[in-house]
Structure formats: structure tokens, C-alpha cells
Chain A
Amino acid sequence: MNFDPRLTNRSFSAVGTRPIRPDGIDKVTGRARYGADFNMAGQLVGRVLRSPHAHAVIRGIDTSKAEALPGVKAVITAADLPDLTGGDSALYDILDNCMARRKALYDGHAVAAVAAIDARTARQALKLISVDYEVLPHVTDVDEAFRHGAPLIDDAIFTEGLVEKPVKPSNVVKRTQFGHGDVHKGFGEADFIVERSFRTEQTHQGYIEPHACVASVSADGMAELWVCTQGPFVYRQHCAQLLGMEASKLRVTSSEIGGGFGGKTHVWAEPVALALSRKAGRPVKLVMTRDEVFRASGPTSATSIDVRIGARKDGTITAAEATLRYSCGPYAGGWAEVGAMTAFACYRLDNVRTVGFEVLVNRPKTAAYRAPSAPMAAFAVESSIDELAGKVGMDAVDFRIKNAAQEGTRASYGPVYGPIGIGPTLEAVKNHPHMQAPLKKNQGRGMACGFWFNFGGQTCVDLNIGMDGSVSLAVGTVDVGGSRASLSLVAAEELGIDYGQVKAIVADTSSLGYNDMTDGSRGTFSSSMATISAARNAILILRERAAQMWDIPADDVVWEKGHALARGEKYGNLSPLSLKEIAAQSGTTGGPIAGHSELVADGAGVSFATHICDIEVDPETGATRVLRYTVVQDAGKAVHPTYVEGQYQGGAAQGIGWALNEEYIYGKDGRLQNAGFLDYRIPVCSDLPMIDTQILEIPNPNHPYGVRGVGETSIVPPLAAIANAVSNAVGVRMTHIPMSPPRILAALEAGAGKHDA
């Protein structure tokens, strides 16, 4: 990449403004097309048969009666999806999750699928498929699965990362470790030590749009997939590999997406839809019901975390350690590892050690949920930090300021930090009016910090300038929250034209080179970098064209405020040429004018946030009310400040739901009991107050405009901020998320671990 990504711009005309998004009108009029809003001629309805058992061997599947039902055009099982993964175990797990091959590993695991002429026939066909299950003992709890003697989910798993190689299989996939220094020595130097265990229950990303796609495989092996996804190129790769197609033969178009938050970053039912379409010879529309979304698509991990932190009288933390057990569903993942990396990332520590354990359970395959694994670790650590501050006798914010990581600190996960924003967010919180607002009886205030990585990744952008001067910007990162507006602002800024002249679209996989998915807070960060690069390439051409039109050397032409200028006194009589004017002549100066960029956007940096929350607890019922909430987070440079605020508020709201209400509830039979929005209760409008936001802008030195990723970090502090608030309100340390009314009442009654006010 010959593009220099370093920070250069510090003053802006378009970036930082708040225009209306280009896809807005379609979304407020119902015209925007999401995954389930698309239809193809002759399409069939696809439905999936799912295991009612948490753990069972599939001895056989008889699909003959279903196949014989009039109107049924295809029935498939794992037999129709041969293993083409070539030894890639991660891809094999995705394949097995899409359609069980040997065992049903969770309540809701797909075992067969049908494509029929209408929904009623498809439903009837499912009832006619008979599956011979041999039910096995199951385990759904992360701590139970961790213990010796728990039912084994995969007898080929021997724990990786142990000093002594294990001889017996286990549900613990691997042990990972991070840290530096000598924690034993560090604890020896502490005057105060806090040691606690915490648990967080499993939650779902809760996107309102269920997974939906229309798949069409033609007899010549060409295929099309319309799907709601955060990563059309990733979906193309997975589907092509699993179906034995060349990626170039599969064209994936992403619909508008109705929420993803990490849950739409890998395939769940799309290979099944393609396989049905291939077998039936017709397009197949496959939409998950809400029940299926909960039972069979990506929840986050349930966790069990032990934390120990020690500090001297003067408030300096001398040692910190954590053991983190994360559930990954029935397939290996890297969730505990990430939790172990982020747990103490906010702090400057000489002695720190974190150990993560990845634990298999008979629950759906864990998927990423907005800053995956970080919120739970932050809950455990920030709760303990609060308690330790209390023991030392310091204010919660001051204690954190004293121990906060800075430029030059060795992160608890290894590398040394460059310029980072945690100090500024803490200072901003310390001085925020929210901290001074009075509290009444049964009300408590809590604050907490959060950390998350931001990623870059492979990114392509095409910028085409029409003869009428309008600029068409084709990007490959799916727009989850307004990035088309932000990227249009960036293009307008770089070219020096009006926002209204730029039209951004999300291209399909046949129209652009490979793009990594919209995750890791990378959508605006990386696509803006590629947009700037593409715009600069287009400007080179615009200057050459102007030079042609003037018949002067291109080196004498500069680009300023959307115009070509001839630089030099001898050109005094040449008036500037606007982009429009140059574009109008493009047909005779060399053809269409465009700028392209294919790059790897790296160096996104890390992101910090601090939240403040006021909660009121009803001591008779344990019910809670969120009174006030403030998010302070560093955005580097807010391209479209309203959308940055939106990300802060959205992450906070998800964190509030997670902290107070949301959890997967399993029965003794291993079946999910609350697979719907009635009993899996996400926050509604009346649960929340206005969510105040403060955007700090500490420019990222590795982006031309200083942009940092913003999408994920705001879900990291809420669990802890709210737990600290509730703990302060009730005078009891809360250690189990969600803090639903029964748990708060139980804690009040037990009066366990009263902490110093």
C-alpha cells in the first residue's frame, strides 16, 4: 500500500457535520429491503428441523415421508453437505453447526431441512421427518462443565495449554495465559486485597431482524445469495467452500441489515439454503423464526470469573490476577482468551496474571457480541476495583486515575501503549455534572471503565465520478448504523465538494475486491481510510485532466477546495476548474474518472470509555430503575457526531439490558426456556432515561483524520457501572449478572459481603 495513513488533517469542512443519511428516506418509508424483503421468481420456502435434545447421537434420519409429500421439492441432511473443509477445524465447526453430522449438540441444533412450495407444506414436511436420537447426558452450566466428571461433549478434546499434557478428554478446550511480573510478590506488598468470584449469564445480541436469505443455485453452478450479513465476502467464502463452489461463482448481495452486533459475522443457515436450492433446482427463501434465532444463533458466553487485586495504603495497585471461565457452546472458540486479554487492560500494573479457560457446553455456538468477552471481564474487574478503592479509602474515580494506563504503560496483555484515551475519559467523568447530582434514598451511583481493541482489515473502495459531477462511492463494509453518511462526508471532505454530491452504496461481492466484515469497530475506520486513498487517486486524475484541458504540465496543477488550480504566475488568466467542469469533459480527456483503493487498514488503535450510572432499587421487590446514564468515550475524530452518539447510546442500552434483565434460562432438560422477546426481556423505551454522551477526540495518529473505531467499546463498561451503582444503592456487593429482581432480593436477604460505604 503506497498510501500514507498517518494523521494529517486537523481542520475539516464536511467531516464533523451532521447531514441526513442517504439511505434514510427508504428506511422511514418502509421501502428499504432487508433480508426477508426480497423474493425471486419461483422461490420455495425453506424450513429447518431442529433437535429438541441438548445432547444426543443421531442414529439415523428417515426423510422418505417428507420427500413424498406433494409440494416438497428437496429435503436435505448432513449427507447433502459433504465435508469439504480440508482439515480447517473452524470451518468444520461452522459446517457441523449449520447441519449436525453425528450428534445434536444443543436444543435447536439443525438436523435436516426442507424446501417446499409454501410455508404450510414446509412445516408439514418437517413433521414427517423422523430422527432416531440416542439421548445423552448434557451439561449447560459453565462451572459444571468445567468440573471433572461432567458429561463429555467431545471426547476428542484434550485441554491445550496445560503444563502437563492431559490423558483424559475434557470439556475444557484450552488454557491461555497473559501477564507479566510476579503476582505473588505483588500481593505480598499489598496492604489491602479484594478477592471475589463473579458470574454472568448468557445473553443474545438481540437484533430485531431474524437471519434471512434467498439462495439461488443454477444448473451451471452459478449461485446468488441475498442475505442480511455483516460480511458478504466472509459469507461468500464460507458458503463457497462448504458447497464446493468457486467463490467467484457465488455472488453475495447484502441486504440492509436489521442489526448484527457480531451475530451476523458467520453463516448459520445460508449454506443450508444454498444446498436446498441446489437440490431443488429453484431459489429457496429461508428465514429464521425468532425462536430459532435464540435457540440456534450466536449468543455470547456465560462466564465464571475469579478476581484478586491488591493495593498499598497509598492506592497503588501492586498485583492483579484473574481466572476466567467462558462457555463457547459445543465448539472450540477463543472467547476466554480475549477476556483474559482485556480484563486489566485499563490499568498500569507491574504484576498481573490472567488465565482463561474455554469451556464446552450444550448450548448454541457462541458468537461475537459487540466487544466480545470484554464486558464480562470488565464487570468482574471493575467491581473489584470499586471495592478495593473503598477499602483503601479513595474515591472510585480517583483510584482509577491513579492506576490508569498511559502512553508507555505495558498493557496487561503485553504490548506497550501508544497515546491512549483512558486518562482523559476518567478526567472528563470526574468533572462531569452527573457526578455532582444529588442522590436520594435507595439510589446508588456507579462508574466503570472499559477497553476494547479496534481492527482494520482488508478494505476496497471504488470512487467513480459521473459526467454530471456526482460521485458514486462503492464500499464493501456493510452499513449497520449510518456509515454511508460518514463515508460520503469523508469523500466530500477529501475532494472538497458538497456532501450532497456524493452517493454511497454497499457493493456486492462481484463488484468489489475482498472486504473484511463490519466488525471490530472497523466499518467507518477502515472504509474511510480506503475512501481517502481512493479520493486522492481520483484527484491525481482530475489534475491530469485539468492539465489537458488547459494544455499545461500536470505538475503545475493543484487541487484545492474542489477545484483544479493552475499554480504559477504565468497561468494568471486561467480560472479554476471545478470537479463538475472537469467531469463534464471526461469523455474527451481520457474517459471516465475514478479512484480505487485496495488496502489493509491497520493501526486502528485501542479504545477506552468510562460510564456513569445512577440506579434506584426498590428494596421490597428488587426492581431497579435507571435514573441517569452518561457515556464518555474517545472517538479520535467523530466523522458524523450524531452517529457516534448513536453507537455510544446503543452499546450502553445493550449493556443495561445485560446487567439488569437478560439471560438465557435452561431447564434441567437442557432446553432453552425463554426463546422469545417476552421472556428474554431486552430494554424497552420506558426502561431507560435519556443517555448522555460526551465524545472526546484524541486523534488516532494512524489515520489521516485521526478516526478511531467507536462501535463496540460502549458495551464494555455498563455491566460494571450498573453493578457498582446497585451495590452502592443496596449496600451489598453484587456478583451475579443479570441483577434481576430475584437476585437483588436474594442479595439483600443474604446481606453477604457487605462492603464499606
Chain B
Amino acid sequence: MVAVTLWGSLAAVAGGKDKLDIEAKDIRELFRKLAEQYPAIEPFIDRGIAVAIDGTIYRDTWSKKLPEGAEIFLLPRLAGG
């Protein structure tokens, strides 16, 4: 079980909740479960969501394990210049 915080705009499509408890062992499972519970999140996942685990941002490593008790934060997937 991990506690996931969603940034403002994502919370809006998750029924207004910005903190969710999800049972997921890695990022892939997290996205799958989120999409199951809140279908409106799916376009955000397609566009790209970055996952911050204890402050480090992961953009593509969907197999990254979510440690028990880690702080998980979902952010828009950014690019640079």
C-alpha cells in the first residue's frame, strides 16, 4: 500500500481527492490501478505522468518498485530544452 499525492489538475479528475491510497508494487501497476478507479485519468497517463519517489523523479521507468512507506507524487511529464 502506498500513499500517492496527485498534483492539482490530476486531483480534479480523481474525484477531487489529492491523496489516494493504492495497492501497487511498481509504477506500471500504479497507473493501471489509477486508470481502473478513475478512467478520466487515462488521457493524462497517455500524455505522460512523471512519478516522484522520495523526491527523485522517474519518467519512463515503469518497472520501478514503489517502496513501502515511500512518498509518491504524480507530476506532469516534463521535457527540457
Name A residues whose Cβ lies closer than 8 Å to a Cβ of B. 90, 160-161, 163, 174-179, 205, 261-263, 265, 334, 337-338, 341, 367-372, 411, 413-418, 452-458, 519-522, 600, 602-606, 702, 712
* B80 & A176 in contact (Cβ 8 Å cutoff): no
* B61 & A176 in contact (Cβ 8 Å cutoff): no
Q: How far is the CB of A37 from chain B (nearest CB, A)?
A: 25
Residue of B nearest to A367 (CB): B81
Across the interface, which residues of B come within 8 angstroms of A519, CB to CB? Answer: 79-81
* B79 & A602 in contact (Cβ 8 Å cutoff): no
List 4 additional contacts besides A160-B9, A177-B7, A602-B57; criterion CB under 8 Å.
A261-B81, A334-B76, A520-B78, A603-B57
Q: Given A415-B55, A602-B61, A337 and B76 touching (CB < 8 A)?
A: yes
Within 8 A of A (CB), among B6-45: 7-9, 12
- Compute how far the CA of A161 lies from the CA of B40 in the bound complex, rounded to whole angstroms: 12
* A605 & B8 in contact (Cβ 8 Å cutoff): no
Q: Given A415-B52, A602-B60, A265 and B9 touching (CB < 8 A)?
A: no
Please classify the interface of chain A as helix (H, G, I), strand (E, B), loop, or mixed, using the class held by over half of its residues. loop
Q: Given A178-B7, A602-B61, A602-B64, A453 and B78 touching (CB < 8 A)?
A: yes
* B78 & A334 in contact (Cβ 8 Å cutoff): yes
Q: How far is the CB of B77 from chain A (nearest CB, A)?
A: 9
Q: Given A415-B73, A603-B56, A176 and B9 touching (CB < 8 A)?
A: yes
- Which of A262, A413, A603 is within 8 Å of B81, CB to CB? A262
Please classify the interface of chain B as helix (H, G, I), strand (E, B), loop, or mixed, using the class held by over half of its residues. mixed
- Compute how far the CA of A605 lies from the CA of B56 in the bound complex, rounded to whole angstroms: 6
Q: Given A414-B73, A416-B54, A456-B59, A522 and B9 touching (CB < 8 A)?
A: no
Residue of B nearest to A176 (CB): B9
Q: Given A457-B59, A600-B60, A602-B60, A413 and B79 touching (CB < 8 A)?
A: no
Q: Given A453-B57, A605-B56, A338 and B7 touching (CB < 8 A)?
A: no
User: What are the 3 A-B residue pairs with the smallest beta carbon separation, nearest first?
Assistant: A262-B81, A520-B80, A368-B81
- Compute how far the CA of A743 lies from the CA of B61 in the bound complex, rounded to whole angstroms: 48
Pull 24 A–B residue pairs with CB atoms less than 8 Å apart, ordered by A: A90-B47, A160-B9, A176-B76, A178-B8, A179-B8, A263-B81, A334-B76, A338-B76, A341-B75, A371-B80, A411-B55, A413-B7, A418-B54, A452-B80, A453-B78, A455-B78, A455-B79, A457-B59, A458-B60, A520-B80, A602-B56, A603-B56, A606-B57, A712-B80
How many residues on B have C-beta within 8 angstroms of the other chain's C-beta atoms? Answer: 24
Residue of A nearest to B58 (CB): A602
Across the interface, which residues of A come within 8 angstroms of B57, CB to CB? Answer: 415, 453, 602-604, 606
Across the interface, which residues of A come within 8 angstroms of B59, CB to CB? Answer: 455-457, 600, 602
B71 CB–A CB distance under 8 Å: yes
- Which of A263, A414, A522 is within 8 Å of B5, CB to CB? A414
Q: How far is the CB of A520 from chain B (nearest CB, A)?
A: 3
- Which of B9, B64, B81 is within 8 Å of A370, CB to CB? B81
Residue of B nearest to A455 (CB): B80
Q: Given A416-B54, A521-B80, A605-B56, A177 and B9 touching (CB < 8 A)?
A: yes
- Which of B58, B64, B81 is within 8 Å of A265, CB to CB? B81
Across the interface, which residues of A come within 8 angstroms of B75, CB to CB? Answer: 341, 413-415
Across the interface, which residues of A come within 8 angstroms of B79, CB to CB? Answer: 265, 368, 372, 455, 519-520
- Compute how far the CA of A261 lies from the CA of B56 in the bound complex, rounded to whole angstroms: 25
Residue of A nearest to B56 (CB): A603
- Compute how far the CA of A415 lies from the CA of B12 in the bound complex, rounded to whole angstroms: 18
- Compute how far the CA of A321 lies from the CA of B28 in the bound complex, rounded to whole angstroms: 34
* B71 & A415 in contact (Cβ 8 Å cutoff): yes
- Compute how far the CA of A602 lies from the CA of B55 in the bound complex, rounded to whole angstroms: 12
Across the interface, which residues of A come within 8 angstroms of B64, CB to CB? Answer: 602
One digit per residue, 1 when the CB lies within 8 angstroms of any chain A CB and 0 when it does not, for chain B 64-76 equals 1000000101011
Pick the most buried of B7, B9, B78, B79: most chain A CB atoms within 10 A of its CB: B79
Residue of A nearest to B80 (CB): A520
Across the interface, which residues of B come within 8 angstroms of A160, CB to CB? Answer: 9
Across the interface, which residues of B come within 8 angstroms of A370, CB to CB? Answer: 80-81
- Which of B55, B56, B58, B81 is within 8 Å of A372, CB to CB? B81
- Compute how far the CA of A603 lies from the CA of B55 in the bound complex, rounded to whole angstroms: 9
Residue of B nearest to A712 (CB): B80
* B9 & A371 in contact (Cβ 8 Å cutoff): no
Across the interface, which residues of B come within 8 angstroms of A163, CB to CB? Answer: 12
Q: How far is the CB of A478 from chain B (nearest CB, A)?
A: 13
Q: How far is the CB of A91 from chain B (nearest CB, A)?
A: 12
Q: How far is the CB of A303 from chain B (nearest CB, A)?
A: 16
- Which of B8, B9, B55 is within 8 Å of A417, CB to CB? B55
* A177 & B55 in contact (Cβ 8 Å cutoff): no
